[in-house]
């Protein structure tokens, strides 16, 4: 059975999702979700004395490597592990390798076909993607596919709510460190690169930005316990509503760059860990007047979509291997049939030779009798037929 593994390595959290083909009794478009598992960790790396990497751990003593997942940040420096200098792309590849090893070790059918997809921000340039590709290839992960985050999110949408009519989906990715807005084509006839216009990102919105807003509202110099006790309930909801409403300017800017309006957008797909509160979807639905779709756990939507892409690749690989195997079997059968025909022809020739000798004719005479159109030919053939072939 084909299995898909999707990896979403964000600045704050990392999500890995494993998707298998579900039961045929499940509703169409939801079969993969019946068998999907995901794990969320902090995006941190630690190395022990042997150089073994561990993801998501923050040791009491020692240092954890953080804030490396976004390759667009120029302030990120290379990390030294032993005698090696690892770039941010190398660190992302190490995280991917650790997650893959763990997922396949825990999976009972790890020897089956597995397709793996790793997501990256849509704003990455070709240089960033090239660095990430080279880092993966260097540690033996050339088989891992690279997929843009909004494309993976749209894949989840198509699988969960599809089939979709051709149109536009606005992916509102509210993560822990930033907000990413992307327009993606969905439905039949979707091109290989479905992203429309220019993906936009702002660090003024997201989990960290909202935390800073809460802290500023609570007052400076207050301890954490006082802040949590001051900004709760209705006040927190009002702050989040204001926070999401302020982010709409980035949405409208993305639409202007793509030369479209909200009337051209069929739906808004909300993803990201900071998009869990219901106020996020409520504000977007009220302000944008478009259908808003949110997964039960929006933080894992991108990883789930990547897992679907990986599973589809594994299914295609299995089908291709099956065709090649069938072709080899047919070719082998044809060769065996030709060999049997050749053996039979040689055996028949030997029998004819024995018959001809028994009739007092030479082999050449038999060939001549068979070649000349005369009455003797018919008599010769009848005589040959009278003998028992053995």
Q: Give the list of residues 6+ apart from residue 165 with CB closer than 8 angstroms, or none.
A: 187, 188, 266
pLDDT > 60? residue 270: yes
Confidence of residue 180 (pLDDT cuts 50, 70, 90): very high
Q: What percentage of the chain reaches a pLDDT higher than 70?
A: 71
The predicted pLDDT at position 26 comes to: 46
The predicted pLDDT at position 330 comes to: 60
CA angle 14, 17, 20 (to 5 degrees): 170
The predicted pLDDT at position 63 comes to: 81
More confident of the two residues 320 and 282: 282
* Residue 298 within a domain: yes
In whole angstroms, give the CA distance from residue 294 to residue 79.
37
Could you tell me which of 62, 175, 159 has the C-alpha nearest to residue 122?
175
The predicted pLDDT at position 107 comes to: 64
Judge contact between 177 and 70, C-beta under 8 A: yes
* Residue 58 within a domain: yes
* Residue 340 within a domain: no
Could you tell me which of 2, 37, 17 has the C-alpha nearest to residue 317?
2
* Residue 98 within a domain: yes
Give the alpha-carbon dihedral of 349, 354, 355, 359, to 10 degrees.
140
Q: What is the mean pLDDT of residues 197-216?
A: 92
Domain check: are 170 and 286 in the same one? Answer: yes
pLDDT > 50? residue 67: yes
Among 319, 345, 376, where does a domain finish?
319
Query: Sign of the C-alpha dihedral, residues 29, 6, 16, 35?
Result: positive
In whole angstroms, give the CA distance from residue 209 to residue 125.
25
CATH number for the domain spanning 171: value is 3.30.420.40
pLDDT > 60? residue 291: yes
Domain total of the chain: 2
* Residue 63 within a domain: yes
Chain segment 232-262, per-residue pLDDT in tens: 556 788 899 999 999 999 999 999 999 999 9
In whole angstroms, give the CA distance from residue 97 to residue 150.
23
* Residue 21 within a domain: yes
Size of the chain in residues = 390
Q: What is the mean pLDDT of residues 282-307?
A: 96
* Residue 224 within a domain: no
Judge contact between 69 and 10, C-beta under 8 A: yes
Judge contact between 293 and 275, C-beta under 8 A: no
Domain residues for 376? 359-390
Domain check: are 254 and 121 in the same one? Answer: yes
Confidence of residue 184 (pLDDT cuts 50, 70, 90): very high
pLDDT > 70? residue 31: no
Domain check: are 376 and 315 in the same one? Answer: no
Mean pLDDT over all residues of the chain?
81
Domain check: are 176 and 267 in the same one? Answer: yes
In whole angstroms, give the CA distance from residue 300 to residue 189.
26
Which residues are bridge partners to 65 per DSSP? Answer: 45
Which residues are bridge partners to 303 per DSSP? Answer: none
In whole angstroms, give the CA distance from residue 121 to residue 113.
27
């Amino acid at each position: 059975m084909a299995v898909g593994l999707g990896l979403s390595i964000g600045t704050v959290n990392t999500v890995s999702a494993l998707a298998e083909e579900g039961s045929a009794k499940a509703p169409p478009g939801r079969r993969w979700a019946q068998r999907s598992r995901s794990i969320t960790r902090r995006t941190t790396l630690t190395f022990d004395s042997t150089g073994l990497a561990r993801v998501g751990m923050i040791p009491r003593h020692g240092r954890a490597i953080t804030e490396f997942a976004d390759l667009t940040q120029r302030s990120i420096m290379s990390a030294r592990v032993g005698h090696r200098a690892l770039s941010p792309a190398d660190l992302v590849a190490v995280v991917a390798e650790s997650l893959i090893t763990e997922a396949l070790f825990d999976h009972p059918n790890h020897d089956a076909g597995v397709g793996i997809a790793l997501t990256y921000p849509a704003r990455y340039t070709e240089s960033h993607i090239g660095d990430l590709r080279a880092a993966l290839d260097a540690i033996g992960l050339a088989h891992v596919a690279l997929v843009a985050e909004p494309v993976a999110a749209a894949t989840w949408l198509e699988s969960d709510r599809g089939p979709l009519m051709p149109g536009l989906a606005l992916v509102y990715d509210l993560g822990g460190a930033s907000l990413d807005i992307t327009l993606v084509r969905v439905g039949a006839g979707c091109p290989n690169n479905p992203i429309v216009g220019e993906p936009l990102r702002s660090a003024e919105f997201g989990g960290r930005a909202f935390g800073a807003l809460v802290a500023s509202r609570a007052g400076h110099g207050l301890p954490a316990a006082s802040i949590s006790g001051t900004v709760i309930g209705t006040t927190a909801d009002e702050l989040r509503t204001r926070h999401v409403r302020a982010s709409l300017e980035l949405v409208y800017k993305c639409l202007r760059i793509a030369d479209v309006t909200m009337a051209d957008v069929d739906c808004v797909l909300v993803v990201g860990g900071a998009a869990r509160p219901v106020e996020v979807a409520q504000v977007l639905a009220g302000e944008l007047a478009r259908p808003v779709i949110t997964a039960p756990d929006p933080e894992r939507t991108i990883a789930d979509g990547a897992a679907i892409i990986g599973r589809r690749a594994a299914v295609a690989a299995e089908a291709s291997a099956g065709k090649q195997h069938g072709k080899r079997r047919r070719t082998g059968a044809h060769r065996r049939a030709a060999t049997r025909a050749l053996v039979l022809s040689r055996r028949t020739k030997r029998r004819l030779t024995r018959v001809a000798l028994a009739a007092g004719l030479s082999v050449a005479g038999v060939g001549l009798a068979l070649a000349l159109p005369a009455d003797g030919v018919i008599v010769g053939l009848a005589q040959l037929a009278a003998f028992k072939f053995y």
